[in-house]
């Protein structure tokens, strides 16, 4: 498997600038928030989202350098993503993320919620300062989508009647919306045609869906060490993902176990065994591959370049995490 970071060689220098800027953007007027931000931005995330923004920008601006507005858009994208992770970890009561303690486990829930709010507010302020109404609309929608996705996930816990369509909609809100809308925003700032910007949106949307489906498969196939959280934890908390929804079509008893919320001893283990014994994981893999393929097809609007090649390879990388 190719490590994600090696895919980003065309924007490696840009990502280094981004890493330095992120801490400065938070500012040190608020020592506790600064400490929280430093902890977050230093946690060694893959930076896939800002890398995509920078790669699209470079793939379009082949003859000229990218502008400070492109860089700022990438920074805003990472800030929004990070803010959502802080809030997610509070909601999910996660103690670890990427192998390091979460903000709320270090600083408490109150600071974590405020740190997330602060990052959302900061990103909105920097967004407004880009002076581009269309980009403001695109990324403001992402912030609404993130909240909508989290609420929908909470409402659908242990609900065996949710459809695949509902699951994909929630996955769009929680993961794909940010990648889709920031990809489109990179096109808007680069002043591409409306049609081309729409292709970037669909690249991000399909890539984001593939990414989320793969994450949901890894919850069943990966070890706790790899995931940084206990395997099967989505299922245990009642979050029914693609492998489960497909398995439910084959294994009626799975529904019984889920609906009684794994109340009896051995219920969770039995449910995991039923999922592994079904076509659920393979069908979810096929669905992820389908969305990754749709993502790559959108890149036909770009002329061949190193950055375009990297965008194609990111789709391959997303799937390669399964093997």
The CATH number of the domain holding residue 271 is 1.10.600.10
Residue 92 has a pLDDT of 75
Q: What single string gives the DSSP state of each residue in 254-310? A: HHHHHHTTT-STTHHHHHHHHHHTSSHHHHHHHHHHHHHHHHHHGGGGSPS-HHHHH
- The predicted model scores a pTM of 0.93
Phi, psi of 114 (to 5 degrees): -65, -40
Residue 260: other Cβ atoms inside 10 A: 11
Domain that holds residue 218: 2-319
Residue 45 has a pLDDT of 66
- Residue 89 is encoded by which pair of tokens? 């970890």
3-class secondary-structure state, position 178: helix
Residue 42 has a pLDDT of 66
Identify each DSSP E strand in the chain by its residue range.
Answer: 96-97, 100-101
Which of 243, 242, 215, 240 lies closest to 229, judged by CA? Answer: 215
Question: What is the distance between the alpha carbons of residues 179 and 142, in angstroms, rounded to a whole number?
Answer: 9
The residue with tokens 């029914």 is 240
Residue 101's beta-bridge partner residues?
96
Residue 7 has a pLDDT of 87
Residue 90 has a pLDDT of 78
- 21 burial level (CB within 10 Å; 0-12, 13-18, 19+): middle
- Residue 3 is encoded by which pair of tokens? 């490590």
Phi, psi of 100 (to 5 degrees): -120, 155
Q: Provide the domain count of the chain.
A: 1
Phi, psi of 98 (to 5 degrees): 50, 35
Which of 204, 142, 138 lies closest to 173, judged by CA? Answer: 142
User: b/e for 133-171, b at 16 or more Cβ within 10 A?
Assistant: eebbebbeebbebbebbbebbeebeeeeebeeeebbbbb
Tens digit of pLDDT at every position of the chain (323 positions) = 556 668 899 999 999 899 888 877 776 677 777 777 767 776 556 789 999 999 999 999 998 999 999 999 999 999 999 888 888 777 777 787 767 778 788 888 888 888 888 889 989 999 999 999 999 999 999 999 999 999 999 999 999 999 999 999 999 999 999 999 999 999 999 999 999 999 999 999 999 999 999 999 999 998 665 656 667 889 999 999 999 999 999 999 999 999 999 999 999 999 999 999 999 999 999 999 999 999 999 999 999 999 999 999 999 999 999 98
Residue 4 has a pLDDT of 66
């Amino acid at each position: 498997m190719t490590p994600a970071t090696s895919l980003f060689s065309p924007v490696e220098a840009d990502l280094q600038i981004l890493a330095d800027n992120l801490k400065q953007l938070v500012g040190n007027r608020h020592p506790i928030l600064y400490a929280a931000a430093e902890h977050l931005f230093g946690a060694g995330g893959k930076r896939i989202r800002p890398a995509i923004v920078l790669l699209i920008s470079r793939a379009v601006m082949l003859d000229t350098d990218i502008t400070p507005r492109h860089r700022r858009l990438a920074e805003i994208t990472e800030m929004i993503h990070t803010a959502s992770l802080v809030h997610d970890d509070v909601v999910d009561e996660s103690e670890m993320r990427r192998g390091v303690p979460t903000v709320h486990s270090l600083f408490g829930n109150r600071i974590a919620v405020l740190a997330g709010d602060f990052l959302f507010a900061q990103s909105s302020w920097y967004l407004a300062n880009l002076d581009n109404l269309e980009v403001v609309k695109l990324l403001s929608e992402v912030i609404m989508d993130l909240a909508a996705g989290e609420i929908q996930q909470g409402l659908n816990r242990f609900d065996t009647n949710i459809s695949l369509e509902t699951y994909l909609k929630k996955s769009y809100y929680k993961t794909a919306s940010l990648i889709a809308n920031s990809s489109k925003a990179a096109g808007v700032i680069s002043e591409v045609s409306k049609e081309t910007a729409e292709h970037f949106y669909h690249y991000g949307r399909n890539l984001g869906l593939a990414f989320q489906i793969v994450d949901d498969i890894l919850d069943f196939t990966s070890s706790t060490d790899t995931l940084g959280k206990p395997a099967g934890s989505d299922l245990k908390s009642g979050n029914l993902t693609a492998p489960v929804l497909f398995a439910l079509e084959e294994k009626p008893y799975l529904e019984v176990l889920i609906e009684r919320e794994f109340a009896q001893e051995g219920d969770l283990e039995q449910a995991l065994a039923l999922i592994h014994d079904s076509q659920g994981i393979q069908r979810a893999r096929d669905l992820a591959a389908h969305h990754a393929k749709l993502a790559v097809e959108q890149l036909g609007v770009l002329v061949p370049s190193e950055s375009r090649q990297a965008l194609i390879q990111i789709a391959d990388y997303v799937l390669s995490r399964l093997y």
